[in-house]
Amino acid sequence: MRVLVVMNFGADAATPQRGRWVVDQVEALRELGLDVELFTFRPGKDQYLPATRRIRRLLKEQSFDLVHAHYGLAGWCAALAGARPLVVTFHGTDVRHRVVGPMSRALTRRIDLIAGASKALFEREAGRPGLPLRPGRNAVLPCGTDLSRFAPVERVQAKVRLGLDPAARYLFFPADPERPEKRAERAREVARLADAELLTGGGIPPDEMSLWINAAHGVLVTSEYEGFGLACLESLACNVPVISTPVGIAPHALRGLEGTLCADFDAGTWARFASELVAKDDPRVSGRPVAEALSAVRMADRVALAYEEILGNREGEAVSAAQFGNDGVLR
């Protein structure tokens, strides 16, 4: 099977982590034996028309069985370039954004499979509408966690390797503080109340992210909404405690997992929980089995299955949202 994957949020010097989750999925699909070509272009309003022309030219020059775009605007470029069959995975901001959201929902009428990075994207969240449910054309296809990059590291060792104070107590906010939907001000308040130092993401190279997670006594996911929320799973892969709002995959991943908290944001409640974590020398949770169940390799299996069903053109057997349980993952 030959697949063209399209995305418009590849990494650059300022955001080395951006889009890594799609690259992880592409690499996992290749390991399964699929021939996958990755087409990327820079974000920006002036990039969409040139990208559409380049995709159209690529489709004429080469033969692909299927095109898979990530994010709504990249999906529009692929659709206007004539890509068929076309799968689009929506990741969060492209569904909830006040301008891009309506465009993404309009795109769903023109594509063969509407894929959300989590079940939450098919529901209203934070007052924002989700993706439409169209019988026989819906799926939940997360990218998953690359377990080769995320694993437990002794906390003091992680601090030393990063040049941090080995004796300091840290909480980690794994997102770019400049993104308003991530609500960095909440993380700052919790760290202040818990008497901990706050580490923040945004410009961390992918190969270093595991060290930053392991250096922290807990990871704070304070988001207003998440499409999937890989930071939660990456932290669990390191057996590091997570405190999260009930967004994306967090309600499933943290359900019943001792040493974690999944709750609506309340500064006092979160700070009390965080204080208990920073009071310990090396707080850990049994999170890796959860991350393993949602790894990049296992999620790639689901994506490949969706491809096969689309190409098989089996009436009534297309990937359906009904095939997904409360965890939002293909059974």
What integer is the mean pLDDT of 15-39?
89
Q: What is the pLDDT of residues 10-26, one digit of tens each?
A: 656 566 666 788 999 99
Residues 6 or more apart whose CB falls under 8 angstroms from that of 196 comprise: 169, 170, 171, 217, 274, 278
Which stretches within 62-208 are classed as H helix? 72-80, 93-96, 100-107, 155-162, 184-193
Q: What is the pLDDT of residues 222-261, one digit of tens each?
A: 999 888 889 999 999 999 999 999 998 999 999 999 999 9
Angstrom distance (rounded) from CA 223 to CA 203:
18
Give the C-alpha distances (Å, rounded to integers) separating 148 from 140, 145, 159, 183: 23, 9, 20, 29
Q: What is the pLDDT of residues 133-153, one digit of tens each?
A: 988 899 999 998 999 999 999
Residue 301 three-state SS: helix
For 2-143+296-323, give the CATH class.
Answer: alpha beta
Please, which pLDDT band fits residue 317 given cuts at 50, 70 and 90?
Answer: very low
Given a cut of 80, whether residue 322 has pLDDT beyond it is no
Residue ranges matching CATH 3.40.50.2000 in the chain: 2-143+296-323, 155-292
Residue type, 187: A
Given a cut of 50, whether residue 331 has pLDDT beyond it is no
Q: What is the pLDDT of residue 72?
A: 95
Residue 259 three-state SS: coil
Angstrom distance (rounded) from CA 227 to CA 249:
8
CATH number belonging to the domain at 155-292, selected among 3.50.50.60, 2.60.40.1290, 3.40.50.2000, 3.40.50.300: 3.40.50.2000
Given a cut of 80, whether residue 324 has pLDDT beyond it is no
Degrees, nearest 5: CA angle 123-300-296: 85
H-helix or E-strand spanning residue 275: helix 267-278
Cis peptide before 85, with omega less than 30 degrees from 0?
yes
User: Residue 321 in contact with residue 135, Cβ under 8 Å?
Assistant: no
Q: What is the pLDDT of residue 124?
A: 86
Name which residue leads in pLDDT, 192 or 328. 192
Q: What is the pLDDT of residue 196?
A: 98
Angstrom distance (rounded) from CA 296 to CA 145:
5
Burial 114-144 (b: 16+ CB within 10 A, else e): bbbbbbbbbeebeeeebbeeeeebbbbbbbb
Q: What is the pLDDT of residue 259?
A: 96
Q: HSE (CB half, 13 Å, CA atoms) of 286?
A: 4
Angstrom distance (rounded) from CA 55 to CA 63:
12
Q: What is the pLDDT of residues 112-133, one digit of tens each?
A: 999 999 888 998 877 888 999 9
Average pLDDT taken over every residue of the chain: 90
Q: What is the pLDDT of residue 25?
A: 94
**Nearest CA among 125, 133, 72 for reference residue 101:** 72
With 0-12 / 13-18 / 19 or more C-beta atoms within 10 angstroms meaning exposed / middle / buried, residue 289 is exposed
